[in-house]
């Protein structure tokens, strides 16, 4: 079998590589140099985020969020089980307990109707995850959080350039976490950002990010020497990576639009199968604008999903499934965080299949994959 189409291929676009050469030539290679500042300014300007801090990954931004929520042993945080390990790891690393809540059948996002029943006197925060760059029901989530005095941390790793009722994902909750990992729409290999609304949280975030020191204030000339003032770690990315990211962010609209065309082609080609009830396509609720991070299909059952994946892979099209629900993972089971089942999570995770999607793909590529999917169903 030869690979006709990988699942993902990172792209370099426009100025990104040129900016990297510029960063190296400038001699400023550590973090928060000219390109780090430019990337943060771009994030703040494009998304209207009061404060954007570049991080080494979304995982790092989530870990900073756990510190900013002051999570401690005994505390509880509500999140979906259908997510990447980093969302739950950040909580567990503070000794707090991830409380897994089931997902909505349409978007596979945290089911807002189940949140209140999961709140206890120990609950500190709600951490929704915008799956596939389609927003969670944020109005309801923010309303619940305000009434119960909980912080909201958006895991918007997949949500860069997606919006909810006219607001960019990552800017709606108290904190928002972006990923620029090579598998995401806008990428610099490994990278992320923490978006912060409140100025006091932002000042503390700045300190956590600089190993617990007030170095950022020192660099702004606000204090005359810098020293250890709080907990912290090394969350600042190199300016070489920030330079690549500036090029990608500048091209963000173009990248998002191209991915949109590819998703539209998939949807158009696969609509007849969906109409016959053979599979289900992604749903974008009213008021949400997707960033086309992912194109998936949901097969009738787990056996069909696996057979379809094998069929596509045999032809060289690298379709892949996605998360093993965290409460059923070896770590989740060993910790016993979730006693009962999460029926929607367990059902949909076993039936979901992601199709290849990346910037340099052509509409003909998408049509070829879709034809293979149609062939699979035509054969039976
Ligand atoms: C990719 C991803 C992360 C982790 O991002 P990194 O930048 O690789 O640390 C976290 N959460 C979700 C939902 C993701 O998709």
- Residues of the chain with pLDDT > 90: what percent? 94
User: Which atom belonging to ligand 1 lies closest to the Cα atom of 61?
Assistant: 9
Measured between alpha carbons, how far is 161 from 147 in angstroms, rounded to an integer?
29
The three state secondary structure string of 62-113 is HHHHHHHCCCCCCCEEEEECCCCHHHHHHHHHCCCEEEEECECCCCCCECHH
| C-alpha 87 – ligand 1 centre gap (Å) | 8
What pLDDT, on a 0 to 100 scale, did the predictor assign at position 224?
A: 87
pLDDT at 274: 97
Q: Which of 7, 54, 63, 86 to mutate to test the pocket of ligand 1 (most atoms within 8 A of CB)?
A: 86
pLDDT given for residue 133 in this prediction: 98
Predicted pLDDT of residue 347: 98
> What tens digit of pLDDT does each residue of 270-321 get?
999 999 999 999 999 999 999 999 999 999 999 999 999 999 999 999 999 9
Q: How confident is the model at residue 379, as a pLDDT? A: 60
- The residue contributing the CA closest to ligand 1 atom 6 is 58
Residue nearest to atom 1 of ligand 1 (CA): 157
Closest residue by Cα to residue 158 from 189, 192, 127: 192
Q: What is the mean pLDDT of residues 185-213?
A: 97
CATH number belonging to the domain at 253-376, selected among 3.50.50.60, 3.90.1150.10, 3.40.50.2000, 3.40.718.10: 3.90.1150.10
pLDDT tens by residue, 170-195: 999 999 999 999 999 999 999 999 99
Q: What is the pLDDT of residue 14?
A: 79
Tell me the pLDDT of the chain averaged across its residues.
96
Please spell the DSSP secondary structure of 118-174, one letter per residue: H--TTEEEE--B-GGG----HHHHHHHHHHTT-EEEEE-TT-TT-EETTEETTSSSS
pLDDT for 219 equals 87
Pocket test for ligand 1, best of 7, 56, 59, 103 (most atoms within 8 A of CB): 59
Q: What fold, for 15-251?
A: 3.40.640
- Average pLDDT (372-376) is 97
* 170: alpha, beta or left? (left if phi > 0; alpha if psi -120 to 50): left
> What's the gap in Å between 177 CA and the centre of ligand 1?
9
Protein residue whose Cα sits closest to atom 2 of ligand 1: 157
Ligand 1, pocket residues at CB < 6 Å = 57-59, 83-84, 86-87, 129, 155, 157-158, 179, 181, 192
Residue with more model confidence, 14 or 368: 368
pLDDT of residue 213: 94
Residue 380 scores a pLDDT above 60: no
* Minimum CA distance residue for ligand 1 atom 14: 157
- Residue to probe by mutation, ligand 1, list 84, 154, 155, 193, most atoms within 8 Å of CB: 84
Q: Which atom of ligand 1 is nearest to the CA of 57?
A: 7
Ligand 1 centroid vs 158 CA: distance in angstroms?
7
Distance (Å) from CA 67 to ligand 1 centroid: 18
Q: Which atom of ligand 1 is nearest to the CA of 59?
A: 9
Residue 248: pLDDT above 70? yes
Give the pLDDT band of residue 1 (cuts 50, 70, 90): low
Best of 157, 177, 357 to mutate for ligand 1, by most ligand atoms within 8 A of CB? 157
Distance 86 CA to ligand 1 centre (A): 7
Ligand 1 atom closest to Cα of residue 86: 10
Q: Which atom of ligand 1 is nearest to the CA of 62?
A: 10
| SS3 assignment, position 12 | coil
Q: What mean pLDDT is predicted for residues 135-155?
A: 98
Dihedral in degrees, nearest 10, Cα atoms 61, 62, 63, 68: 90
Determine the distance separating the centroid of ligand 1 and the alpha carbon of 189, expressed in angstroms. 12
* Percentage of the chain modeled with pLDDT above 70: 99
Tell me the mean pLDDT in the region 210-216.
93
Q: Which atom of ligand 1 is nearest to the CA of 191?
A: 7
Q: 46 catalytic, yes or no?
A: no
CA of 352 to the centre of ligand 1 (A): 19
Q: What's the confidence (pLDDT) of residue 23?
A: 97
Angle at 294 between CA 329 and CA 113, to 5 degrees: 60
Overall pTM > 0.95: yes
In this prediction, residues 142-150 reach a mean pLDDT of 98
DSSP sequence for 315-368: TTB--B--PPPGGGSHHHHHHT---S--HHHHHHHHHEEEPP--TT--HHHHHH
CATH 3.90.1150.10 intervals, the chain: 253-376
In 3D, which of 196, 259, 185 has the Cα closest to residue 68? Answer: 196
List 37, 46, 165, 184, catalytic entry: 184
Q: Which ranges in the chain are annotated with CATH 3.40.640.10? A: 15-251
């Amino acid at each position: 079998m030869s690979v006709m189409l990988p699942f993902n291929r990172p792209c370099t676009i426009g100025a990104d590589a040129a900016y990297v050469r510029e960063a190296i030539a400038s001699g400023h290679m550590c973090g928060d140099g000219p390109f780090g500042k430019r990337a943060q300014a771009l994030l703040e300007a494009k998304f209207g985020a009061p404060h954007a801090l570049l991080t080494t990954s979304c995982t790092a931004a989530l870990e900073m969020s756990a510190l900013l929520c002051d999570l401690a042993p005994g505390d509880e945080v509500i999140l979906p089980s259908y997510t990447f390990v980093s969302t739950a790891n950040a909580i567990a690393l503070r000794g707090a307990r991830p409380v897994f809540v089931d997902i909505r059948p349409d978007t596979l996002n945290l089911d807002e109707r189940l949140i209140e029943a999961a709140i206890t006197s120990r609950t500190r925060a709600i951490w929704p995850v915008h799956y596939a760059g389609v927003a969670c029901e944020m109005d309801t989530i923010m309303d619940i959080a305000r009434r119960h005095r909980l912080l909201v941390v958006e895991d918007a790793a997949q949500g860069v350039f997606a919006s909810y009722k006219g607001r960019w994902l990552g800017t709606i909750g108290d904190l928002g976490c972006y990923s620029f990992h090579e598998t995401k729409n806008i990428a610099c290999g490994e990278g992320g950002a923490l978006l912060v609304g409140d100025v006091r949280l932002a000042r503390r975030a700045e300190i956590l990010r600089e190993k617990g020191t007030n170095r950022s204030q020192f660099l702004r000339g606000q204090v005359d020497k810098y020293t250890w003032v709080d907990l912290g770690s090394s969350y600042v990315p190199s300016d070489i990576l920030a330079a690549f990211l500036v090029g990608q962010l500048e091209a963000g609209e173009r990248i998002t639009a191209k991915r949109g065309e590819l998703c539209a082609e998939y949807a158009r080609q696969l609509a007849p199968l969906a109409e016959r009830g053979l599979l289900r396509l992604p749903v974008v609720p009213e008021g949400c604008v997707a960033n086309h991070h992912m194109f998936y299909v949901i097969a009738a059952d787990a056996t069909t999903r696996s057979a379809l994946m094998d069929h596509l892979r045999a032809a060289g099209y690298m379709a892949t499934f996605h998360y093993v629900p965290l409460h059923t993972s070896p770590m989740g089971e060993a910790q016993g965080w979730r006693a009962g089942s999460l029926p929607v999570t367990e059902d949909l995770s076993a039936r979901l299949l992601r199709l290849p999607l990346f910037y340099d793909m052509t509409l003909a590529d998408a049509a070829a994959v879709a034809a293979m999917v149609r062939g699979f169903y035509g054969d039976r």
